[in-house]
Amino acid sequence: MPQEPSHRPIAKRLRQFAKNMRHEPTDAEAAMWRLLRDRRLSTFKFRRLVPFKHYILDFVCFEKRLVIEIDGGQHAELRHDAVRDAALASEGFAIARYWNNDVLQQPTSVLEDILAKLAGR
């Protein structure tokens, strides 16, 4: 069973930014965290707003190496997301992206999709 990667030095600025983001989540991030926290999704442990390398991951299950990203309209076609996804894939992570609207309006469908992705890893 893959474990959480060994601790790597994270820039102090990035850690502080992630910490600040945890205190001011978007509505969709807050809703998703209520569904994932405390092993509520089939006992899988998720962490939120985790600094990893020079990125901040919205939600991550290190056991299954699955990253969940909750995106708004600003992510519609960003090249940065593709570069980030490739960097995470090179570390063995799969990335699942969901729109804010889907998380807020269809949470059951989103959770079912996440469970399917977890089962496939």
Contact 104, 27 (CB under 8 A): yes
Global confidence as pTM: 0.81
CATH number listed for the domain at residues 26-119: 3.40.960.10
Q: Is residue 96 helix, strand or coil?
A: strand
Query: Which pLDDT band, with edges at 50, 70 and 90, does 91 fall under?
Result: very high
Residue 41 scores a pLDDT above 70:
yes
Give the residue-averaged pLDDT of 37-56: 92
78 pLDDT tier (thresholds 50, 70, 90): low
